[in-house]
Structure 1
Amino acid sequence: MFKPWVGDDWGHRDNALQGTRLVVLGESHYCDPAKPEMVGLCEPDVTSYVVRRYAIEEPHRFFTGITQVISGKPKWQMSRDDIAASWHSIAFYNYVPVYVGTEPRIRPGDKFALGRVPFEILLEQLRPEAILVCGYELWWWVLKGRPEGFNGDPASVPFQKIGPAIAARMKHPSTAFSSVRWRPTLLELLSRARTLRQV
């Protein structure tokens, strides 16, 4: 199981999310093409390395999309400190607990099924209030067989209670993604999470 990235300001009242404990849920990691023997295995600390390098230090389309949704600003309006503040306010975790291949175009396929138990462990450990799920296929896998009794078409359900948290689906930020389109979904998710907190 890959350990999650947990930002230094996760859950702090003065962070970029006013303290809401948000997990951004991605799909999967890919190993070094020079090490194909790592497919099906994991290196527990790789998520933190990937976030530091590709979300905070260097631009990468997937992470830039998430940063813009969290901050509500286009990347050209953000300093490196602004970007770091966004990522230090959240936790990030990839659902599939092993490397799925050596390049991003390889889909997780049946490896999605391996993610259920580690995801439940993550929920117990972090106790998030909100979960932003990146990708429609991942949304289906997250909702499939939930103990909350979800039934129906996941595509018709933009928000769903998952354990103590409220979750929302978002298009995967890798291609043809508009952060302006998905920012309102995050704002609604955070609002619902704060309402649940007060109940």
Structure 2
Amino acid sequence: MSKSTVRFAPWVGPHYERGIHGLRILMVCESHYGAKEHERPTVTPEVLKALALGQKHPEATAKLRKHAHFTKIMASILNARKHFSKVDRSDFWHCIAYYNFIQEFIPSIRKAPSSAAWEKGKQPFTEVLEVLAPELIVCFSKRNGDRVTALAGGVPVAVANHPSSQFAYSKVNPIIAEQIERALTRKAQVADFDSTSALYLRWCEATASALPTPGQYLSDSDRLELIAKRMEWMSALDRAALA
């Protein structure tokens, strides 16, 4: 499978096969936000490197602050609330996969994805499941939980609140822990994982090579150049998907 309907490549940690808790875990959130001109195939690993791992784009004047969204996800999966060191964060994020279901930018965090955007997200998500073959899915979106569960093909799914919406460890952690146990029980029945597929290797490379998103910390000329590059990249990707 070389042709793909996935517009925003998932983050695939270099130790995804090893996993967390002995499981290949795919975390599914909702969407990226911003103007359409900022869409690019590597947006997910770019954002994760900047906001989860605290890395800085080499041409940016400053780095973005780490975001609580990623810390909450990490703490709930590990069932551990503490100060996470740089090594802790690296170890965790290098062992999981992370994907946003909606494959287009939403203009504002105050605007919900349209019904059409949810519908268009189904086929790419099915493709991600086929390639990554997760043994556990953690869906951080109550409003997307039924959709993800229906598409999961029997893979255990823990459905939790989005980290920015009524998120409470006392509610979320037991839900995830229950599905971890279910996934471990089911693990022996799961087919072998193919780590040589073209798309898997492409997504691993996209994760490894993506630079941290610079946010607003670029000169005007560098920003315009980057926007033009992103638009050209997405146009080529979309043309290839239609070919």
| Shared fold per TM-score greater than 0.5 | yes
CA contact (8 A) 1:27 1:96 kept: yes
- Which residue of structure 2 lines up, in the alignment, with residue 191 of structure 1? 181
Correspondent of 2:164 among 174, 185, 190: 174
**Higher RCO (C-alpha 8 Å, min separation 6):** 2
How much has 1:197 moved relative to structure 2? Answer: 1.3
The sequence identity of aligned pairs, in percent, is 30
Give RMSD over aligned pairs. 1.9
- Which residue of structure 1 lines up, in the alignment, with residue 50 of structure 2? 53
- Which residue of structure 2 lines up, in the alignment, with residue 84 of structure 1? 90
Q: Gaps spanning 5+ residues in structure 2: where?
A: 1-6, 55-64, 190-243
Provide the rounded CA distance (Å) in 1 between the counterparts of 2:187 and 2:16: 16
TM-score (ref. length: structure 1): 0.79
Provide the rounded CA distance (Å) in 2 between the counterparts of 1:89 and 1:70: 12
CA contact (8 A) 2:28 2:138 kept: yes
**Residues 173 and 56 of structure 1: CA distance in aligned 2, closer, same or farther (over 3 Å):** same
- Which residue of structure 1 lines up, in the alignment, with residue 25 of structure 2? 22
Correspondent of 2:80 among 66, 73, 77: 73
- Which residue of structure 2 lines up, in the alignment, with residue 157 of structure 1? none
TM-score (ref. length: structure 2): 0.65
Counterpart secondary structure, 1:77: coil
CA contact (8 A) 2:36 2:105 kept: no
Provide the rounded CA distance (Å) in 1 between the counterparts of 2:90 and 2:181: 23
From the CA coordinates, give the structure whose radius of gyration is larger.
2
Q: Which amino acid aligns with 1:106?
A: K
Ranges of 4+ aligned residues in structure 1 off by more than 4 Å: none
- Which residue of structure 2 lines up, in the alignment, with residue 104 of structure 1? 109
Identify the structure with the greater strand proportion.
Answer: 1
Provide the rounded CA distance (Å) in 2 between the counterparts of 1:95 and 1:7: 18
Higher mean alpha-carbon deviation, 2-11 vs 115-124, is at 2-11
Counterpart secondary structure, 1:131: strand
**Residues 191 and 107 of structure 1: CA distance in aligned 2, closer, same or farther (over 3 Å):** same
Q: Which amino acid aligns with 1:169?
A: V
Provide the rounded CA distance (Å) in 2 between the counterparts of 1:88 and 1:29: 21
Q: Gaps spanning 5+ residues in structure 1: where?
A: 148-161
What's the CA shift string for 1:108-167, capped at 9, x where partnerless?
Answer: 122111100000100111011110111111113324xx47xxxxxxxxxxxxxx225211
